């Protein structure tokens, strides 16, 4: 078995062990950099009561804290199941650009584990989605929020 297949097999084994210990849903993830495993994660939604405690996010959180860096460029994610939109977005935000998964949304559908309907919902224009998302441009009087970020992030303006 090649390394990528071994990493994917480990993600599946983590998911299976997770089911057997009843900590969460049947999902496991392995995060790899330069061929080496740097973090693993399992879905702990049931035991943690945290709807964001997905395997991929747990692996991302672990390595980001360990490396003290939110950018994970060059890392490769191996997931037992098709990543949900939240996990996919997190991988994009972290700079992960390569993902392998073993079970598709179609494989998961008969078990109520598919996120296909969520992908379909998010593909709709915002005005047609079931969640109300309302833009309300409120600005604090003392200082603009994003301007405060720029000053802290980059220091005072170079023009002053």
Yes or no: say if 85 and 52 are a contact pair by the CB < 8 Å rule: no
Where does 26-115 have alpha helices with state H?
A: 45-48, 55-67, 85-94, 105-108
Alpha carbons 23 and 60: distance in angstroms, whole number: 19
The arithmetic mean of pLDDT across residues 108-118, rounded, is 97
The arithmetic mean of pLDDT across residues 126-142, rounded, is 90
The arithmetic mean of pLDDT across residues 106-113, rounded, is 97
Dihedral class, residue 91 (left if φ above 0, else alpha if ψ from -120 to 50, else beta): alpha
The arithmetic mean of pLDDT across residues 104-122, rounded, is 97
For residue 149, the model assigns a pLDDT of: 87
Residues marked as catalytic: 56
> Is the per-residue pLDDT at 94 higher than 60?
yes
> Is the per-residue pLDDT at 154 higher than 80?
no
Global confidence as pTM: 0.88
């Amino acid at each position: 078995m090649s390394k990528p297949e071994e990493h994917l097999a480990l993600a599946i084994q983590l998911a299976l062990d997770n089911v057997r210990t009843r900590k969460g849903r049947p999902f496991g993830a392995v995060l790899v950099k330069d061929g080496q495993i740097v973090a693993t994660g399992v879905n702990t939604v049931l035991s943690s009561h945290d709807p964001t405690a997905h395997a991929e996010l747990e692996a991302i959180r672990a390595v980001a804290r360990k490396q003290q860096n939110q950018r994970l460029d060059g890392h490769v994610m191996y997931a037992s199941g098709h990543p949900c939109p939240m996990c996919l977005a997190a991988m994009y935000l972290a700079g992960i650009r390569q993902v392998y998964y073993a079970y598709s949304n179609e494989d998961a559908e008969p078990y109520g584990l598919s996120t296909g309907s969520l992908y379909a919902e998010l593909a709709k224009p915002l005005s047609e989605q079931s969640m109300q998302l309302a833009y309300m441009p409120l600005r604090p009087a003392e200082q603009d929020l994003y301007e405060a970020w720029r000053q802290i992030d980059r220091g005072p303006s170079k023009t002053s």
